[in-house]
Amino acid sequence: MTPLIPLDSDWLTAILPELILCAAGMMLILIDVFVPRARAIIAPLAVIDFLAAFWSELFVDGGTYFSGTYQISNITRLFDIVFLLAAILCALLAADYLDREKLQSGEFYALLMWATVGMMMMAKGLDLLVVILGLELLSICIFILVGFHRRIAVSNEASLKYFLMGAFATGFILYGTALFYGATQSTNFAEMSRWFARGDASNPLLTVAFVLLMAGLGFKLAVAPFHGWAPDVYQGAPSPVAGWLSVAPKAATLIALIRIFGAMTPVLQQASWLKMVAALSILSMIVGNAVAIAQRDLKRMLAYSGIAHVGYMLIALISGGTESVAAIAVYAVTYALMNIGAFGVVSMLAKNQNDPQTLDDIAGLGFRRPFAGAALMVCMFSLAGLPPTAGFIAKFFIFKTAIDAGHTTIAIIGIITSIVSVYYYLRVVYYLYMKEAPAADMVPVGSVFATSALAIAVLGIIFIGVNPTPLFAIAGAAARSLVP
Amino acid sequence: MSSVLSITLWLPMAAAALLLFFPRTAATAIKGLGLLASVATFVASLGILGGFREGVAGLQLVEAHSWIPQWGITYALGVDGISLWLVLLTTLLTPVVFLASWNTIHKHPKEYVIAFLVMEAAMIGVFLAADLLLFYIFFELTLLPMYLVIGVWGGANRIYAAIKFFLFTIAGSLLMLLGIIYLVFRHAHATGVTTFAIHELYGTPLTAAMQAVLFFAFALAFAIKVPLFPLHTWLPDAHVEAPTGGSIILAGVMLKMGTYGFLRFVLPFFPEATAKYAPLLIALSVIGIVYGALVAWVQPDMKKLVAYSSVSHLGFCVLGIFALNQTAIEGSILQMVNHGLSTGALFLLVGVIYERRHTRMLADYGGIARTMPVYATLFIISMLSSVGLPGLNGFVGEFLILSGSFKTQPKAAIIAATGVILAAIYLLWLVQRVFFGPITNEENRNIPEIAWNEFAAMVPLVVLMVWIGVHPNTFLRKMTPSVEQLLSVVERGREKGEAVLARGEQRAASSEQVAAADVPARRSLPAARPEVRP
């Protein structure tokens, strides 16, 4: 009689980062309850825990665990780093934010850690069900994190919206998975891949399954037309959470999608499923960039810009091949730095959460708070994809992949929508440096935590922009580990 | 001294980084360091001139380091006869800007100096880059500081002007970026080597249709930058709203990045398309010459007048480039430098008087030659240089362009020549109304004379105007081999294209029942493509 889960001897080290985060999360909650005086050091403790998880990545051996349902390789390591980077930046910004809003507590960081564990599962799962488990763990944490500012109506509203929509999305994903199982007799990627290798996608069940799955995952990615929740949720969520939410879950969903697409490679072309994804990409780029122009609230603007950025990443996804996986990985790292950086400045500015953070609130900031202003400017230029920032390199990589794969039309649409996006990113710079500041307007000074988060983001953006070679090497190795 | 190019390129950037740590109140120290750094950069660029060997056509003082090996992108710099004088023009005009604006920038001096230093480094990078992606990065990097300079230190309508400037330029250059990626992709496809090195991309095999598409992707970006009629509408706005220093750099150097781009990329990359579409660009440049001159004529605002004169003068540069012969191209490069000197000087001088009277309207002036004799003398010299008076620099450039283009494009040259006459009319008209006649406005009786710093800024410009005018060979002989080589690349490419066409026609003829009328249609057949491969 074999055990249900054959325990490999080294399975414990394989999931070391996850274990560290799970345990640290519980520890933080307990500290918060039993040693209330220690509340002041909870944020640094959380950051240290994330760093420990970061460090433990070094000891994790590559390989397949848990009956071929859990894979650890260069690609999962790289995405783990993206999740941890996003979480660290979020924790640093939140330390400042929660203090100001008198919400400092262990649960916040614990939820952030468990959400990170969920994302790691999504990235490592070799089985649709593992991915879904990770996704659910992530989603439950997000529901609470979005509504963390419980005294404020907009935060509750955002949480409820995300919960209701998210429940539907999960339903779609589960239904799609069930249909896939029905058609291919498996939810394991390797077995699905073997089934698809027969090259038969004529079963209409498969198309329905694919559409349902894409709708559900598209919701998590906030691609148009499944993006409706994003602006409201980002606006209502605490700013550090919004920044993290706009980056990390999207990266996790993308890596899961990369795996699903990898399994379907033989049939993707003939079944015109790629055309559907291309349509999502084009729609996202157009809707995101066009609607962002009309936004005066910074968080809503960043929400729409995020929709467009996922559109860019989908360009690489449909191009296929090793290069495109590397391009998505590079884009994910870059996007984490620049988007959380931008949300970070917004979070530092908040006089209180009820205020909409509009463009007028940053008028003249560039000269009053030179560091925060310059950081926001760098993030904006990077989001706009202007050299010498990381955003340029990442976007260049995407368009290069598209052209190499022969998707010239979609690359041209991407470039044209980028031109549109320059307008609203530049408008932020215009408010920063060219508008007079309202008289006697107090701007909160960021603490050392928030400032260091911004410094990490800005230095990372410029370093990758000037010297992308190391990141390319890592991303290239990661991509090769996924696509042999 | 093998790293003299890198030193020149990074010196201003290093100074800008150093300035970040200066307290913003130490305005004099900041301006002093800015001036010092820009003068040091100029001295370093004289080192480039010293190390430049005449008679060599290709890139010199080359530096190449691996940068992004995955994509075959290198940090490669080099200078040749085409870029040499443009680099020196850049390093000369930046200290001129700092000198001229010494007393006029009160708002945020620290950020002002940093912006100009970053801009200088980026512009030097544009002219020195020997790698296509490196070029592109510097090309775009020039935009950001200029956007801030116009937007923060500009005039009343500065925001509109700054955003329009930025969006026009970025729209062109992003499409060029796609063109760059596609060109490199075609090159990799044909040779198996992914590289962005400019000289290796020369002679990339392309079908006629592809050449046409890529030609327009590149030409659009550069035509917006130049700016060529009808893409010039951002220029008057940007110039009028920009502070004096911004106008000097914009007109003096940035517009030349467009003409330089035509010479460095469009001509040698796409020789067939160049030959095919040269008449179109010549037509647009001639329209620009006459249109710019006519519009300048009716401007009541001095700065706008000079701005439109730039549209007209840059038309000459583009005309010279697409005339595709030695004389005209040399004249065109010289004219780029000339325009930088004379228009830079005119913008500087318009700024001087604006600081004193806070108006640029011609009608508000009259007879000020009596109150400001030194200023008037400098203005008239610069004006005559811009008009093209023999003995000053403008004459040499325009003469070479017109005589060169007369050989290949006589009609265009004849129409363009009217631009010279119109320039004389509008500039002399300007001088007459501002400097001579009775003093009608009492405020003009006691305008303070030009200050020491403004005078010092003008001296090198005037010296060079006379030098180029009297002995242009100092400058021309360093360009000659590079221009010859450029033309031979274009010629080879064109011959290759024609050979392909000829073969295509032969094949068409041999495959019977093909009517003679079908032959032209065969010209763009991709079937002929493999033979283009070297």
Could you say which of B152, B174, B182 has the minimum Cβ distance to residue A419? Answer: B174
Torsion of CA B442, B443, B446, B447, to 10 degrees: -140
Query: How far is residue A288's CA from residue A291's CA, in Å, rounded to a whole number?
Result: 6
Q: Per the domain annotation, does A22 fall within a domain? A: yes
Q: Is the peptide bond before B227 cis (omega within 30 degrees of 0)?
A: yes
Could you say which of B158, B171, B185 has the minimum Cβ distance to residue A419? Answer: B171
Mutate to test the interface with A, among B19, B66, B67, B70 (most CBs of A within 10 A): B70
3-state DSSP assignment of residue B444: helix
Q: Per the domain annotation, does A136 fall within a domain? A: yes
Q: What is the pLDDT of residues A385-398, one digit of tens each?
A: 888 899 999 999 99
The answer to whether A386 contacts B143, with C-beta atoms less than 8 Å apart, is yes
Q: How many structural domains comprise chain B?
A: 2
Could you say which of A400, A415, A430 has the minimum Cβ distance to residue B174? Answer: A415
Q: How many structural domains comprise chain A?
A: 1
Same domain, B472 and B422: yes
pLDDT at residue B531, rounded to an integer: 36
Q: Region A296-301: what's the mean pLDDT? A: 89
The answer to whether B178 contacts A400, with C-beta atoms less than 8 Å apart, is no
Out of A65-69, A253-257, A460-464, B183-187, pick the least confident.
A65-69
Q: What is the pLDDT of residues A201-232, one digit of tens each?
A: 777 888 888 889 999 999 989 898 888 899 98
Residue B119 has pLDDT above 90, yes or no: yes
More confident residue, A271 or B173: B173
Place B529 in a pLDDT band, splitting at 50, 70 and 90: very low
Decide: A422 and A384 in contact? Cβ < 8 Å: yes
The answer to whether B162 contacts A433, with C-beta atoms less than 8 Å apart, is no
pLDDT at residue B219, rounded to an integer: 92
Query: How far is residue A250's CA from residue A244's CA, in Å, rounded to a whole number?
Result: 10
Task: Give the residue on B whose Cα is nearest the Cα of A326.
Answer: B70
Q: Identify the domain containing residue B522 by its residue range.
A: 493-532
Same domain, B376 and B508: no
Residues 475-534 in B contacting A (C-alpha not used; CB under 8 Å): none
Cβ–Cβ contact B185 with A under 8 A: yes
Query: How far is residue B139's CA from residue B484's CA, in Å, rounded to a whole number?
Result: 26
Set of chain A residues whose Cβ sits within 8 Å of the Cβ of B177: 396, 399, 415
Could you say which of B68, B147, B175 has the minimum Cβ distance to residue A468? Answer: B68
Set of chain A residues whose Cβ sits within 8 Å of the Cβ of B171: 419
* Percentage above 70 pLDDT, chain B: 93
Listed residue (A410, A257, A248, A267) closest to A343, CA to CA: A248
Torsion of CA A202, A203, A204, A206, to 10 degrees: -100
Q: Identify the domain containing residue A134 by its residue range.
A: 11-482
Strand partners, B197: B131
Out of A354-368, B190-204, B310-324, B490-504, pick the least confident.
B490-504
Set of chain A residues whose Cβ sits within 8 Å of the Cβ of B108: 367
Task: Give the residue on B whose Cα is nearest the Cα of A428.
Answer: B163
Same domain, B437 and B517: no
More confident residue, A356 or A325: A325
Set of chain A residues whose Cβ sits within 8 Å of the Cβ of B67: 467, 469
Q: What is the pLDDT of residues B346-368, one digit of tens each?
A: 999 998 888 888 888 888 888 88
Query: How far is residue A122's CA from residue A370's CA, in Å, rounded to a whole number?
Result: 40
Q: Model ipTM?
A: 0.86
* Percentage above 90 pLDDT, chain B: 28
Q: Per the domain annotation, does A338 fall within a domain? A: yes
pLDDT at residue B215, rounded to an integer: 92
**DSSP conformational letter for A188:** B
Q: What is the pLDDT of residues B266-282, one digit of tens each?
A: 988 888 888 888 889 99
Same domain, B504 and B382: no
Same domain, B351 and B473: yes
Q: Per the domain annotation, does A25 fall within a domain? A: yes
> Residue B130 half-sphere exposure, CB side, CA atoms within 13 Å?
21
Q: What is the pLDDT of residues B428-487, one digit of tens each?
A: 988 888 888 888 777 777 888 888 888 888 999 999 999 998 888 888 888 888 888 888
Set of chain A residues whose Cβ sits within 8 Å of the Cβ of B147: 426, 429
Q: What is the separation, in whole angstroms, between the first and last Cα of chain A?
A: 35
Cβ–Cβ contact B436 with A under 8 A: no
Same domain, B135 and B215: yes
Q: Per the domain annotation, does A6 fall within a domain? A: no
| Overall size of chain A counted in residues | 484
Decide: B150 and B56 in contact? Cβ < 8 Å: no
The answer to whether A419 contacts B167, with C-beta atoms less than 8 Å apart, is yes
More confident residue, A248 or B24: A248
Which sign does the torsion angle of CA B322, B323, B324, B330 carry? negative
Task: Give the residue on B whose Cα is nearest the Cα of A475.
Answer: B70
Same domain, B511 and B378: no
Which sign does the torsion angle of CA B310, B311, B313, B319 carry? positive
Q: What is the pLDDT of residues A233-248, one digit of tens each?
A: 998 888 889 999 999 9
Q: What is the pLDDT of residues A121-177, one digit of tens each?
A: 999 988 999 999 999 999 999 999 998 888 888 888 899 999 998 888 999 999 999
Q: Considering chain B, what is the average pLDDT of its residues?
A: 85
Same domain, B418 and B346: yes
pLDDT at residue B527, rounded to an integer: 37
Give, for B30, the enclosing helix (H) or strand (E): helix B27-51
3-state DSSP assignment of residue B60: strand
Q: Per the domain annotation, does A144 fall within a domain? A: yes
Distances (CA, A) of A355 to A78, A98, A152, B522: 37, 16, 11, 67
The answer to whether A434 contacts B163, with C-beta atoms less than 8 Å apart, is no
Same domain, B430 and B509: no
Same domain, B455 and B524: no
Query: How far is residue B226's CA from residue A119's CA, in Å, rounded to a whole number?
Result: 50
Cβ–Cβ contact B224 with A under 8 A: no
The answer to whether A434 contacts B147, with C-beta atoms less than 8 Å apart, is no
Q: Per the domain annotation, does A3 fall within a domain? A: no
The answer to whether A387 contacts B178, with C-beta atoms less than 8 Å apart, is no
The answer to whether B68 contacts A392, with C-beta atoms less than 8 Å apart, is no
Place B520 in a pLDDT band, splitting at 50, 70 and 90: very low
Q: Per the domain annotation, does A63 fall within a domain? A: yes
